[in-house]
């Protein structure tokens, strides 16, 4: 694909491709129609041939070139695929931008978002005991507990009442930790009913180390045909003016995390149970 794109990137070669799309043509005719010298046209045609874009036949003293359709179809399919991905990503980007503008306008004084709540529900393809492990084991949590464009870089989750929570995350492509931390949150586990209910509070930190707000999460798990049902209540207290950017991303970001949990559970069911992920920056109860 890189060779194809490089061949098409030159305006003179693109002009030849458009001429050959109409019908096969000889070098001299192509040079005349393209208003170029024949030696230059020959070099461009050779580049297109190396890229698999044209085929050539000799007819007497003439060399006749014809355009190959299949590489163009492959390029068109790839461009269509990229366009679809870009459209989906842009929709999420624009949606977050609208949320961001609205929340920044609303954040006029401390407590502006207190008692606001979000509710999430997901159907999972695994039994409650499997889902429970992914909700409480730090190694398994690290596989899904961030939105799509982030990765967990440090995680502590002590799954017992009073247990400590540390959740740090970075850009998904910042593998060596060279960029600043994207976010960090500290919290405490409150209630643990294995396989049924988990409650905890979690406070994202601002850049200066202060608390942006406190999220109170109540996760209820129950068996269902084909697996489990998970209901999550997410309630805000202690909202500061600086919390607007965090709160704008809750519905999208936490929703994406839960979608990753659904995929992770489905994959585990397909491939068989996997051991807890090992991570030197992660620990569990």
Burial of 116 (0-12, 13-18, 19+ CB in 10 A): middle
269 has pLDDT over 90: no
Q: 261 and 189, same structural domain?
A: yes
- For 89-139, the pLDDT digits (tens) are 899 899 999 999 999 999 999 999 999 999 999 999 999 999 999 999 999
Average pLDDT (33-52) is: 95
Is 238 inside any structural domain?
yes
Average pLDDT (253-274) is: 87
Which strand ranges, in their side-by-side order, compose the sheet holding 214-224?
117-124, 227-237, 214-224, 197-204, 183-193, 164-171, 150-157, 282-284
Token pair for residue 58?
């000799």
Q: Do the bridges between strand 117-124 and strand 227-237 make them parallel or antiparallel, or are there none, so unpaired?
A: antiparallel
Is 33 inside any structural domain?
yes
Q: 183 and 278, same structural domain?
A: yes
- What pLDDT, on a 0 to 100 scale, did the predictor assign at position 272? 59
Is 79 inside any structural domain?
no
Q: Are 42 and 62 in contact (CB under 8 A)?
A: no
Average pLDDT (217-246) is: 97
- What pLDDT, on a 0 to 100 scale, did the predictor assign at position 273? 56
Q: Poorest-confidence range of 27-31, 147-151, 191-195, 218-222?
A: 147-151
Structural domain of residue 56, as residue ranges?
2-67
pLDDT confidence bin for 262, thresholds 50/70/90: very high
Is 223 inside any structural domain?
yes
Average pLDDT (36-40) is: 95
Is 102 inside any structural domain?
no
Token pair for residue 222?
């129950």
Average pLDDT (188-194) is: 98
């Amino acid at each position: 694909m890189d060779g194809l794109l490089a061949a098409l990137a030159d305006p003179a070669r693109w002009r030849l491709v458009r001429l050959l799309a109409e019908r096969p043509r000889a070098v001299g005719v192509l040079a005349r129609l393209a208003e170029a010298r024949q030696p230059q046209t020959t070099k461009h045609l050779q580049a297109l041939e190396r890229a698999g874009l044209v085929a050539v036949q000799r007819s007497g003293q003439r060399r006749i070139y014809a355009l190959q359709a299949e590489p163009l179809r492959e390029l068109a399919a790839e461009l269509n695929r990229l366009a679809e991905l870009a459209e989906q990503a842009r929709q999420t980007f624009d949606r977050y931008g609208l949320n961001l503008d609205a929340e920044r306008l609303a954040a006029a004084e401390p407590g502006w978002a207190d008692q606001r709540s979000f509710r999430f529900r997901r159907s999972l393809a695994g039994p409650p005991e499997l889902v429970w492990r992914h909700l409480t084991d730090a190694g398994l949590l690290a596989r899904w507990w961030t939105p799509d464009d982030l990765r967990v870089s440090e995680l502590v989750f002590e799954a017992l009442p009073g247990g400590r929570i540390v959740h740090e995350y970075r850009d998904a492509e910042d593998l060596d930790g060279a960029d600043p931390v994207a976010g960090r949150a500290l919290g405490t586990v409150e209630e643990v009913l294995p396989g049924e209910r988990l409650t905890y509070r979690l406070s994202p930190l601002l850049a200066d180390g202060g608390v942006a707000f406190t999220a109170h999460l109540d996760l209820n798990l129950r068996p269902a045909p084909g697996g489990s049902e998970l209901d999550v209540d997410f309630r805000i207290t202690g909202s500061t003016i600086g919390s607007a950017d965090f709160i704008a991303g809750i519905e999208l970001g936490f929703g994406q995390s839960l979608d990753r949990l659904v995929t992770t559970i489905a994959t585990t069911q397909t491939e068989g149970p996997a051991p807890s992920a090992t991570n030197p920056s992660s620990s569990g109860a």
